[in-house]
Amino acid sequence: MSASSGRELRSLTQPVDTDLAFSPQPHADDPAALRRYEETYAWDAVGNIVELRHVASGGNFTRRYAYAPGGNRLLRNSAPGEAAEPFSHSYSYDEHGNMTSMPHLAAMAWDHADRLQHCDLGGGGEVWFVYDASGARVRKVQRNASGSRVRERVYLGEFELYRERAANDVAPELERQTLHVGDGTRRLCLVETLTVDDGEPVAAPVSVPRFQHGNHLDSASLELDGDAAVISYEEFHPFGTTSYAANDSAVEVSAKRYRYIGKERDEETGLYHLGARYYAAWLGRWTAADPTGLADGVNRYAYCRGSPVTLRDTSGSAAETPGLVVERALLQARHTAIEAQLLALDARDAAATASRRQFSEAMARQRIEVGGLQAAVQLQRRYTASRGWLDTVTRMPTLTELGDAIAEDIALRPFAYAPGIGPAIAATHHTHDAGDAWSRRQYLEASGHVAGALGEAALAYLDIAAPAAGVAEHGAERVITLFSNGKKVVRSAAVRTAEGNASREAERVAAEGEAFRLARHGDHPSPRPGGAQSHHGVMSAWMKKHHPAYNPDEAPAILMSAEAHARTFGVYNRWRAEMKAEMGGVFDWAKVSEDQMRRLSEKMFDAAGVPRQVRADYWRWFERMKGALHRGR
pLDDT of residue 325: 42
* pLDDT at 75 (0 to 100): 96
SS3 of 560, please?
Answer: strand
Lowest mean pLDDT among 320-324, 511-515, 615-619: 511-515
Q: Which long-range contacts (CB under 8 A, 24 or more apart) does 210-217 make?
A: 210/253, 212/187, 212/188, 212/258, 212/262, 214/186, 214/262, 216/322, 216/324, 217/260, 217/261, 217/309, 217/312, 217/322
The yes-or-no verdict on residue 445 having pLDDT over 50 is: no
Q: What whole-number distance in Å separates Cα of residue 297 and Cα of residue 510?
A: 28
Q: What per-residue confidence (pLDDT) applies to 341?
A: 54
What per-residue confidence (pLDDT) applies to 431?
Answer: 24
For the ranges 18-22, 397-401, 512-516, the maximum mean pLDDT occurs at 18-22
Asked if residue 102 lies in contact with residue 108, where contact means CB atoms within 8 angstroms, the answer is yes
Q: What is the pLDDT of residues 453-496, one digit of tens each?
A: 444 444 444 454 444 333 333 344 455 555 444 444 544 555 44
**pLDDT confidence band for 10 (50 / 70 / 90):** confident
Alpha-carbon distance of 117 to 99, in angstroms, equals 12
272-274 sheet: strands from edge to edge? 264-265, 272-274, 277-280, 285-286
CB 1 within 8 A of CB 41: yes
pLDDT at 359 over 60: no
How does pLDDT run across 196-216, given as a tens digit for each residue?
Answer: 999 999 999 999 999 999 888
Which range has the top average pLDDT, 17-21, 27-31, 274-278, 339-343? 274-278
CB 452 within 8 A of CB 432: no
Note whether 575 and 603 are within 8 A (CB).
yes
Banded pLDDT at 389 (limits 50, 70, 90): very low
For 296-316, the pLDDT digits (tens) are 888 999 999 999 988 899 999
pLDDT at 564: 85
Q: Which amino acid is at 385?
A: A
d(CA 48, CA 30): 37
User: Is residue 149's pLDDT more than 70?
Assistant: yes
Better-predicted residue by pLDDT, 476 or 90 = 90
Residue 255 banded pLDDT, cuts 50, 70, 90 = confident
pLDDT above 80 (res 258):
yes
SS3 call for 281: coil
User: Is the bond leading into 86 cis (omega within 30 degrees of zero)?
Assistant: yes
Closest Cα partner for 161 from 142, 149, 141, 175?
175
Cα–Cα dist 605/618, whole Å = 11
Average pLDDT of span 68-93: 90
Average pLDDT over residues 233-254: 86
Can you spell out the DSSP letters for 423-477?
Answer: TTEEEEEE--STTS-EEEEEEEE-HHHHHHHHSS-EEEEEEEEESSTT--GGG-E
Closest CA to 558 of 604, 595, 610, 511: 610
| Angle between helical axes of 325-346 and 351-367 (0-180°, round to 10) | 170
**Lowest-pLDDT choice from 27-31, 123-127, 172-176:** 27-31
In the predicted structure, residue 538 carries a pLDDT above the cut 80? yes
63-72, 170-179, 255-264, 501-510: least confidently modelled range: 501-510
Band (pLDDT 50/70/90 cuts) for residue 633 is low
Rounded mean pLDDT, 262-288: 95
DSSP 3-state of 337:
helix
Least confident of 240-244, 342-346, 389-393, 619-623: 389-393
Is residue 418 very low, low, confident or very high in pLDDT (cuts 50, 70, 90)?
Answer: very low
Res 452 pLDDT > 70: no
The pTM (predicted TM-score) of the whole model is 0.55
Greater model confidence, 360 or 520? 520
CATH among 2.180.10.10, 3.40.50.880, 1.10.10.10, 2.130.10.10 for 3-306: 2.180.10.10
- 582-632 residue pLDDT tens: 999 999 999 998 889 999 999 999 888 887 777 887 888 888 888 888 776
Q: Tell me the per-residue pLDDT of 94-135, one tens digit each, with 9 for 90 and over.
A: 999 999 999 999 999 999 999 999 999 988 799 999 999 889
Rounded to an integer, what distance in angstroms lies between the CA atom of residue 346 and that of residue 354? 10
Summarised one tens digit per residue, pLDDT across range 275-284 is: 999 999 999 9
